[in-house]
Amino acid sequence: AAEVEEPAVVMEVLKDGKVVSKLEIQELKPNQRCIFGRAPTCDVVLEHLSISRQHAQLSRDDTGSLSLTDLNTSHGTNVNDAWLRPSTAKQLGVGSVVKFGASTRSYRVAALKEGSKRQRVS
């Protein structure tokens, strides 16, 4: 049987404080990007009208740490109740909560795979 690769990043999608779905990003190598936005070409397509076509970029550096960058959006990106400065990477860890624009959904980092190590919300 083929070994199932664990996703690089698992985010829980929350609405009104309840988990409504899970978002799994299968692979995110250093210097690889995962784009969130409304455009159908984005890696993660979000539907809320306040979200820009290319809204935010999730990336990993050479050390494996995860960061999110707002791509100069009109309505902004929020991490742990703080608005990001445009084009400035913000490090994310397990438990970080991200909001895009005025959407009421939030995205909580539930698990991160770093090389062979795996972190989970306990």
Q: How far is CA 21 from CA 58, 78, 83, in A?
A: 19, 20, 24
Residues 101 and 83: beta-carbon distance below 8 Å: no
pLDDT > 90 in the chain, percent: 76
Q: What is the chain's alpha carbon radius of gyration, rounded to the nearest angstrom?
A: 14
**Short-list 38, 25, 33, 31, CA closest to 62:** 31
Beta-bridged to residue 107, according to DSSP, are 13, 98
d(CA 101, CA 34): 17
Residues 62 and 30: beta-carbon distance below 8 Å: yes
Residue 119 has pLDDT above 70, yes or no: no
Local confidence band at 106 (pLDDT 50, 70, 90 cut-offs): very high
Q: What is the pLDDT of residues 22-62, one digit of tens each?
A: 999 999 988 889 999 999 999 999 999 999 999 999 999 88
- Could you state, in order of their start, the residue ranges of all structural domains in the chain? 9-111
CATH of domain 9-111: 2.60.200.20
Q: How far is CA 28 from CA 25, 32, 38, 102, 122, in A?
A: 7, 6, 20, 26, 23
Residues 89 and 111: beta-carbon distance below 8 Å: no
Residues 110 and 120: beta-carbon distance below 8 Å: yes
